[in-house]
Structure 1
Amino acid sequence: MVTMRRIISAGQIRCRFNSRLLILAAAVVFVAGGCRGKGGKTVIEGSFPFAMNQKVVCFHMNSSELEPVDSAITDDKGRFRFTLHTDFPEFYSIRFEESKKSIVLAVHPGERIALVSPVKEYWKNYTVRGSEDSEKVSELVRNQELYQEDFKALAKTFYDSLYSPRFAGEIKPELDSAYRRLVAEKKEFARAFVRKNCSYLAGLMALYQQVPSAGLSRSEPVLRPEEDYIYYHMVDSALNALYPASTPVRMLRSQMIAWDEQKRAKESYVARAGKGMPAPEIVMLSLNRDTVQLSSFRGKVVCLVFWASWDQKSRALNKMLRQEYFRLNPN
């Protein structure tokens, strides 16, 4: 009996011990699971010797504006430090108050980021450590700066040569060729960068890079959604699986949904208004401010032209159409 009781007691002890282990393990799992997604403290430190005793501001890059989250005065060696609480990967920027240029960072929770730049044009030449995503952003920014210099050189040559007798026949064709080559190179770089970094915020940033338009008067995206949709989809799929609550990721997701809806609407419209199908109703104002409906011309031959007053080709076409109109309607 004594032996049996000892065996039973030992079994009970082992059972209680195992139960306690299970409870402890469950508690560890619960704590670990409960901490997931709560973010952490992120530290951003900088050393900019040229910027002693200057105000530096840290901004959170929201959907439509820069939200200042902290500021500091650099010490006599140009050093500063920000401590942030970040829940999800987000874009932040660092800017000295006297400058209009920023350093963009792709900040992940818990990172300790170190920025160093020995030059006054810090946004062109800086190093970043402690954040793999931000290092990739700096690679993207450096590439953008190089191409911006090339485009500026093209623009300068364009305007300097505008009144040259050789402009139309020689200079402009050469500039057009150089412009197309630069855009093609930049596009290929952006595509390769996205393919390699689609699971980083830097890959998302690459989607929205800009280049000057052909007229060098405005900017346009390097990667156009209608031509490069696969790259937007690549980044959206990767980041939405990793960081669905991140602000820039949610913005991209919203854009993708809108583009998909537009694509479906366009396909539906083309199916309903294909060649040989009745034209959809169009309502507009005449030059006399009268309402005109396309359906009011049913049974007549109608030439419908969409043009813009700022477009040179449109103006030339409009002039030709006016001449043709008065030729056919002399009265």
Structure 2
Amino acid sequence: MVRKNLLNISLAFSTMLFACGNGESQTNQEFLISGQLPELANQQLFLLDLSQPKAAPVDTAMVDESGNFGFDYSPSQIGFYRVNLSQNMAMILPLKSGDQITVSGTTSDPNNLNVEGSADVERMTDFNRFLSNALSSQQQLNSEFQQYANHPKKDSILKAFQKRFQDIESDIEEKVKAMVDQDPALFSNLALMEQLNPENADNIAYFKKVEKALADKYSQSPFYQNFKSKVADAGRFAPGTEVPEINLSNPDGEMVPLSSLRGKVVLIDFWASWCKPCRRENPNVVAAYQKYKDKGFTVYGVSLDRTKDAWVKAIKDDNLTWTHVSDLKFWQSEAAQTYGVKGIPFALLIDEEGKVIGKNLRGQALHDKLAEVLD
């Protein structure tokens, strides 16, 4: 799984959680964030509200010659905020009114940056130290593999490196789950959960756990509301769910209901001629179709195209010889609305009874699932 952004509602979180902010070294003033970062002496820092990523900073702070700084902003409600430390590093903090967060250490190494003052901030600091080391290990693996780029046994060597890479991914997932189990009611869990794939059935229970734990206290937070919507979308087509009917016309103008394919394993494939990721995936779907069509597998392509000419041309160019339907209404497609499609490609694999057995299976994952079901 590719490392994801830590909160979809705004700007990417996946940068490490580093720190800073300042004003003047006024010992009798209470600051939301204060501390000492000598490496940033004489620089100006900005505090950004990540629920309004395009808005101006909500506060600024000058770091004095000794590295002392302080932000005195008071959040109206809990949220995630960012302080840029350099072009490549930023600190993401869950903050609420009354917090007194302290920052110290060095900004060049996340392992030596100390951020304290609330359970949420300390949770994210601990996790991001772990994540920083994990990502460094993955980068090291990539560097190591480059020396085998022209090796005659490159393919077998690649598999070994992929296994090591996936082991690190698994460690990250287990770390997130362990932290959630420790205290599911921390607001910072919203950021940590971005490291888990909601389409993985093994992760759904953790998404629901966090959603339930935060519901009473943070229901008005836009970050929570975004997370809740994500959980609902993820759980909507869980394995065993019966999919709703689709009944649209094919290129010849004939209505073809999805239910007419009952008795077959069907890939419901939402795509469009203008969708480059969809077109890149089409050869893989063609290969799966050719391999398994005589074993009870077919594809029901639902296009979000706007013109018939573009739709039909893409079908011909990509050699898509299965069932195709569309109402040519772009994102307003009746089927897309019914299925809650917010991006394409989007695909569901359903069994002979119309129940979900896979979601967004691409590449080898589609072939593996079809082999499991049909071989």
TM-score range, shorter chain: 0.5 to 0.7
2:75 maps to which of 86, 104, 108? 86
Change in 2 beyond 3 A, CA 1:229/1:264: closer
2:42 maps to which of 8, 29, 53? 53
Report deviation, 1:302: 9.9
Normalization by structure 2: what TM-score? 0.58
Q: Which stretches in structure 2 are left out of the alignment for 5+ residues?
A: 1-29, 270-277, 294-318, 320-375
For 1:100, give the aligned amino acid: N
1:178 maps to which of 157, 161, 164? 164
How many matched pairs? 254
1:267 maps to which of 241, 244, 252? 241
Aligned-pair identity (%): 17
Per the alignment, residue 157 of structure 1 pairs with: 144
Per-residue displacement from partner, 1:168-204 (whole Å, max 9, x unpaired)? 2x31121122123222222111111111131112222
CA-based RMSD of the aligned residues comes to: 3.6
Per the alignment, residue 215 of structure 2 pairs with: 240
In the alignment, structure 1 residue 113 sits paired with structure 2 residue 119: no
Q: Which stretches in structure 1 are left out of the alignment for 5+ residues?
A: 1-40, 210-220, 274-279, 327-331
Per the alignment, residue 75 of structure 1 pairs with: 64
Higher relative contact order (CA 8 A, sep 6+): 2
For 1:126, give the aligned amino acid: L
For 1:164, give the aligned amino acid: H
Change in 2 beyond 3 A, CA 1:302/1:85: closer
Q: Per residue, is there more helix in 1 or in 2?
A: 1
| 8 Å CA contact retained: 2:198, 2:234 | no
Per the alignment, residue 310 of structure 1 pairs with: 280
In the alignment, structure 1 residue 125 sits paired with structure 2 residue 99: no
Larger of the two Rg values belongs to structure: 1
Per-residue displacement from partner, 1:151-175 (whole Å, max 9, x unpaired)? 112222344423210112x311211
Per-residue displacement from partner, 1:128-155 (whole Å, max 9, x unpaired)? 1222210111011111111111211222
For 1:269, give the aligned amino acid: V
| 8 Å CA contact retained: 2:101, 2:118 | yes
Aligned positions of 1:1-331 closer than 5 A: 43-62=32-51, 68-96=57-85, 98-119=86-107, 121=108, 123=110, 125-168=112-155, 170-209=156-195, 221-222=196-197, 224=199, 226-260=201-235, 262-263=236-237, 267-269=241-243, 280-283=246-249, 285=251, 294=256, 309-311=279-281, 313-314=284-285, 316-317=287-288
| 8 Å CA contact retained: 2:201, 2:238 | no
Whole-Å separation in 2 of the counterparts to 1:185 and 1:303: 34
For 2:219, give the aligned amino acid: P
| 8 Å CA contact retained: 1:63, 1:248 | no
